[in-house]
Amino acid sequence: MFSDYSMSELGAIFAMQGFAGLILFSVFVLMALGLAIIFGQMGVINMAHGEFMILGAYVTYLTSNLFAAWLPGVFGMYFFVAMILAFIASGALGLFIEWAMIRHLYKRPLDTLLATWGLSLILQQVYRSVFGAREVGVSIPDWMMGSLPVTDMIEVPINGIFVMVLATGISLAVYYMMFRSSWGLQVRAISQNRVMADAVGINTAWTDRLTFGIGCGVAGVAGSAFTMIGSTGPTAGQLYIVDTFLVVVFGGAASLLGTIASAFSISQAQSIMEFFLSGSMAKVLTLLVVVGILMIRPQGLFTLKLRK
Amino acid sequence: MTDRKIPKSLAGPSRRAFMAGSAAMTASLFAPKALFAQDYPTAQINTTGLAVTDDTVTIGILHSVTGTMAISETGSVQAEKLAIEQINAQGGILGRKIEYIQEDGASDWPTFAEKARKLLVNDKVASVMGCWTSASRKAVLPVFEQNNGMLYYPTFYEGLEESPNVIYTGQEATQQIIAGLNWVNETKGAKSFYLLGSDYIWPRTSNKIARKHIENFMDGCEVVGEDYYPLGHTQFNSVINKIRLKKPDVIYAIVVGGSNVAFYKQLKAAGIDMTKEAPIVLTISVTEDEIRGIGGENMEGAYACMKYFQSLDNDNNIAFVKAFKDMWGEDIVIGDVTQAAYLGPWLWKAAVEKAGSFDIDKVREAQIGVELETAPEGYVKVHENHHLWSKTRVGRAKLDGQYEVVFETADLVEPNPFPEGYQ
């Protein structure tokens, strides 16, 4: 199938395809980090994860409108403000939901699945009532659209670079919080042994709430970033939820490193197969491989070594 | 239980403005015929027990106003309510005001079937304006055939269907595809095509027809690639790379829903500038409605093949757009399907008046050959296969989210839901 093309064309295509895989990897990491915190560390199956992301997207939409109306001079910079606001909005909603709903369900993990599923339906309808059933168009600053021509054949999309930088930054921030801050130490202590953590004086209730809030906040930032590459509508969150759980479960629920490794392997596999097969077939094959590996390793790629 | 509403209490955003608009419209376009209820005794015009009284007739509206499809179907509901309001302002049908019962299909196909049964069996509605996706139409089809109802279906769709109980007011696939492909070949000299779609029946059937037409009926043209992505897919960088490698003259895209937004945003981000036409992007799935989500700046320069664009410059359409905006707000946009949905009540009215009866069998017979001079898309006529004769048009997307019409067929295109040589 490559005989029709010259070597330079092939080289360019492989370079661009590799880059497409890296963008997909960054997208997966952004999607999955928030859930990895919530599901991995707290064991809460948050089916409303996609809706927290879309809240971030809607906040971005509102911010862009505000800037366009009041501060058109610095419109190019609004995206950074929007991401911070998205983190705050989704995080605050997360804190509230944890207080109102999730904390009553820690002992019944399967019920959180139903409760958060219900929450996702409620949020979807709220978005629909507030913003309308139609998708909204988020205007992206000009400098973030378009591409950088590297050679005649190779063009690198700027929003792809932006997503990659953002994914790296947020991964580092989460890593730092998890493994270098006292909050991270408490979270990890609680996930290993809740009773003992309580006994040594860790405020488990507050730590849980903060963890859930931070997880949701990270989802909000992801949603904000995705306005560049995807749609913003009441049900757009549903587009991401399956891939997100796939990445987190495949990686090993309690391991952040596992999440990143699994995002990398799934994205590369899918991106390469999409190039050689049709899009639907690539998806089917990716899922088959993941199912096969999970049958052999039900705990996922990486696991924490725990004394049970 | 049922949300039975009479259209008079219609909760449009600016009802007063609408009344003024529709009154002007009534005067200029639709000269009311004097049909009085007493000339048509209810016992004579309704022999099968439909919901017809001496001064009202009840019809059903069956669309999704919740769930994923609400985004698309809202426009159809608005168009149908506008048509009903206008018909009532002219004195109704056979001297009877139209009342409607609106049911929500909730984007769920079994719900559509259940609600259709409720409308036909419990409410005895005289006709139903409804459905949007093919899946919902297929779900209600047995209900309509079993209970002998009449459905006016607005969406352009894949064809391969001809039910005695459905009038298809949108285009079937060949009406939408063939003229557009010929146009891009003849005026733009396009020879190679890359077919792309979401992975379900409509894009696949449409692309099959497109491929047959390109390979068998267009000299020297070829399909260089064909690809499908699951509904809701949001990552198109790989296929954009494939397209770059194949260097087609035309990307023929039938991507729908949220994927649409992702596809066009990523196409632009990858440096494919559609205003430069290298390659040309031709779609049959993006109306003015969808551009609102995609963003005019991401869609500028793409071509769409439809039968209706909001920017059509004729008196019918100018009045229609004005009435629609007066009723539903200045910001609203009108897509191809919305216009087709608007035709439903008018076509039904014409058939009932031609038959002089609300009886389904008589209306069905009278419906064939009904002409509508007042359609926003121009003149249309009902074919004996229950589809509409209509023109095919090509529009080019502008920055403001509207299409500029660049081509229209000289004559009406015959509907051909079972095209020979394309199966």
Estimate to the nearest angstrom the gap between the alpha carbon of A75 and the chain centroid: 26
- Show residues of chain A in contact with B68, CB under 8 Å: 235, 238
Whether the ω angle into residue A72 lies within 30 degrees of 0, i.e. cis, is no
Residue of A nearest to B291 (CA): A137
pLDDT (tens digit, 9 = 90+) per residue, A247-295? 988 888 777 888 999 999 999 888 888 888 888 888 889 889 989 988 9
3-state secondary structure of A27: helix
Q: Does any CB of chain B come closer than 8 Å to the CB of residue A135? A: yes
Digitized pLDDT (tens) for each residue of chain A, 308 residues in all: 556 667 777 787 778 888 888 988 998 999 899 998 888 788 888 999 999 999 999 999 999 999 989 888 888 889 999 999 999 999 999 999 999 999 998 888 888 899 999 999 999 989 988 988 777 888 888 888 778 877 777 778 888 889 999 999 999 999 999 889 999 999 888 888 888 999 999 998 999 999 999 999 999 999 999 888 888 888 888 888 888 888 988 888 777 888 999 999 999 888 888 888 888 888 889 889 989 988 998 888 877 665 54
- Show residues of chain A in contact with B259, CB under 8 Å: 231
Residue type at B398 in one-letter notation: K
Of B241, B258, B294, the CB nearest to A13: B241
Torsion angle of C-alpha atoms A74, A75, A79, A82, degrees rounded to 10: 90
CB B171 within 8 A of CB B381: no
Cβ–Cβ gap A280/B70 under 8 Å: no
Q: Is the pTM of this model over 0.90?
A: no
Of B238, B266, B270, the CB nearest to A271: B238
Q: Lay out the sheet containing B380-382: strands in order across.
A: B371-372, B380-382, B388-389
B173-306+393-408: CATH topology is Rossmann fold (3.40.50)
**Residue A52: closest CA among A39, A65, A68, A67:** A39
Cβ–Cβ gap B289/A23 under 8 Å: no
CATH architecture of B3-171+312-389: 3-Layer(aba) Sandwich (3.40)
Cβ–Cβ gap B237/A271 under 8 Å: yes
Where in the sequence of chain B do the CATH 3.40.50.2300 domains occur? Answer: 3-171+312-389, 173-306+393-408
Task: Name the one residue in this structure whose structure tokens are 């899946």.
Answer: B135
Cβ–Cβ gap B269/A228 under 8 Å: yes
pLDDT (tens digit, 9 = 90+) per residue, A75-86? 888 999 999 999
Q: Does any CB of chain B come closer than 8 Å to the CB of residue A151? A: no
Residue type at A70 in one-letter notation: W
Chain B, window 300-329: residues with a beta carbon less than 8 angstroms from a chain A beta carbon: none
* Rounded to 5°, angle at Cα B320 from B318 and B321: 65
CB B192 within 8 A of CB B179: no
**Residue A191: closest CA among A42, A38, A36:** A42
- Show residues of chain B in contact with A13, CB under 8 Å: 241, 244-245
Residue of A nearest to B226 (CA): A278
Per DSSP, what are the bridge partners of residue A148? A156
CA distance B222 to B212: 10
Of A158, A231, A238, the CB nearest to B269: A158
